[in-house]
Structure 1
Amino acid sequence: MDTAVLRDDMVDSLQHDSKGVVQSAWLSAAMRSVPREAFVPEEQAYSDRPFEVMGTRVLSPSTAARLLEALAPAEDDDVLVVGAGIGYTAAVLAERVGAANVQAIDITRRLVIEARSNLATAGYDAVLVDRRDGADGLPEYAPYDRILLEAAAINPPRALVDQLAPDGRLVMPLGTGEQTLTIVDADGETDRLGGVAFAPMLVEGEQADTVERNRTQREDRERARKAAETRPGWEHEWIDWD
């Protein structure tokens, strides 16, 4: 079947009352324009479900739509995507604000290369994709009207909030076990929109292609910290018993 027809069917289903995640005219038009098959295998491109590529979770179209509706970019906004992944959400944003106004970062080098290739194939090679620790943002291009964080964190990363324009917004999954899709403004005020389930934001040393090894190291550190906190008072070195 023609992929353009499949795209239209996908967006129609996302606009239907049973899902209702695509509500804006701009998002409907953008998702109908971006060839999703340039980013994921064609047989999976238009099914509304998540899956994994190169150790990263590819968002389902409905989840991507929820994020983008909450982000609500205006034409010509400067936008940063933290967690570029395969590059699809950056492409949808490029349809709205212009490819040159979209920057995306990812901590995993392989994903940066993949996102660049996918975006170029789809015709959005003007989107800048760089390898960075997401918690640091991309200060060289700040301030941003909109920042989209596609990973969960227990608190909004301070650097990302600082890189917002005065009337900007950060959209992110906030929390750990129980997460909420949250809008954060430049003053740090939050507006919670409903439950979501995202992978946690990775830090340096936890890239998607080395997660198992580095998560083991992080778990060892966490166990050591918890063990230290549960020692009786006399075991703590900082107590001066003399």
Structure 2
Amino acid sequence: MDHSVLREDMVDGLEHSLDQFDEAVDLAMRNVPRHEFVTDSPYQNKPTAHRKTNTTILAPTTVARLLNALAAEPEDDVLVVGAGVGYTAAVLAEIVGDAHVHAVDITRSLVYEARTNLQHAGYDAVLVDCRDGADGLPEYAPYDRILVEASAVRPPRRLRSQLAADGRLVMPKGTTDQTLVAIEGGEVVETFGPLQFKPLLVDGEQTGGVVRNRTKREDPEYEGRGWHAGSGWEQEWIDWGGHN
């Protein structure tokens, strides 16, 4: 069976399993060749382990949920925090145009892979850079839409500052119990049910590390409180983006 048939079957399955499936997202996922991004069973609706970086490639249903919540429109300028292998960026490129999609990832090897995958799939104009996700990509701000593929107690301040006045930021909000939310004007305006992601990594950390490195932004809070958690960045007492 060829890839196009498998892709149609995959999206047909998503239509039946999701309560909401935006027409633009539906069409985009039918057009993007997911096998250019995922080599292991690319059209099965399941998360896939990325062996080189110890990360997880999102299941198609998760990508659909994120993009349904994002509600991007043609020619919106979009920032994806957590480029991964580039598939989410490619689906967005189908919706808004590839020159309007920007993506960052803190893991350098994933940045290189996402760039290569996007080029092979025909989305050469998507920009992918190696950055601390909490810093965003201010050079190309403001963004009409920001998608954060990592959890946080609240969106980092620098990301909020890069949103357009009427922009929308979508992220899994919370620590242990997470909810997919859409934020506009600094407030949660919609919720889209539970979703579990790893915490947003910050500068100096790399995916797959046994213990996360502490950073200059986290240390003052950690030392001042005298707390001794094994991992601190996802704790509620962190003032996200509050330290330079």
Q: Please, what TM-score do these two structures have when normalized by structure 2?
A: 0.85
Query: d(CA) in 1 for partners of 2:76 and 2:10?
Result: 26
Taking the aligned partners of 1:24 and 1:8, their CA distance within structure 2 comes to 16
Tell me the residue number matched to 2:13: 13
> 1:10-89, aligned counterparts within 5 Å?
10-16=10-16, 19-20=17-18, 23-41=21-39, 43-53=40-50, 54-89=53-88
Q: Equivalent pairs: percent with the same residue?
A: 57
- Distance in 2 (CA, whole Å) between partners of 1:226 and 1:160 is 26
For this pair of structures, how many residues does the alignment match? 221
The aligned counterpart of 2:116 is 117
Greater Cα shift, 20-29 or 176-185? 20-29
Q: How far 1:229 moved relative to its partner?
A: 5.0
1:216 deviation in Å?
6.8
Distance 1:227 1:95, change over 3 A: closer
State the distance in 1 between where 2:130 and 2:213 align.
23
Name the counterpart of 1:236: none
The alpha-carbon distance between structure 1 residues 157 and 216, as it changes in their structure 2 partners (threshold 3 A), is closer
Q: What amino acid is aligned across from residue 5 of structure 1 in structure 2?
A: V
CA distance in 2, matches of 1:7, 1:171: 26
* Structure 1 segment 221-236 matched on structure 2, within 5 A: 225=223, 228-229=226-227
- Contact 2:204–2:213 under 8 Å retained in 1: no
What corresponds to 2:234 in structure 1? none
Distance 2:159 2:226 in 1: 32
Displacement, 1:156? 1.0
C-alpha distance in 1 between matches for 2:202 and 2:227: 24
1:174 match? 173
Of Structure 1 and Structure 2, the greater helix share is in: 1
Q: Deviations over 1:17-76 (max 9, x none)?
A: xx12562221111000000000011x4201111122122221100001000000010111
Render the CA deviation track for 1:145-189: whole Å, top value 9, x for unaligned: 00000000111111111111111100000001000101011x211
Q: Summarize the Cα distance change of 1:9–1:217 in structure 2 as closer, same or farther, 3 Å threshold.
A: same
- Tell me the distance in 1 between the aligned counterparts of 2:114 and 2:104: 10
Q: Distance in 2 between matches of 1:184 and 1:227?
A: 29
CA offsets, 1:180-199, max 9 Å, x none?
A: 101011x2110322111011
Specify the structure having the higher radius of gyration (Cα). 1
Q: 1:202–1:4: structure 2 CA closer, same or farther, 3 Å change rule?
A: same
CA-based RMSD: 2.0
Q: TM-score, normalised by structure 1?
A: 0.86
| Superimposed CA distance per residue, residues 190-213 of structure 1 (whole angstroms, 9 cap, x where no aligned partner) | 03221110111111122115x12x
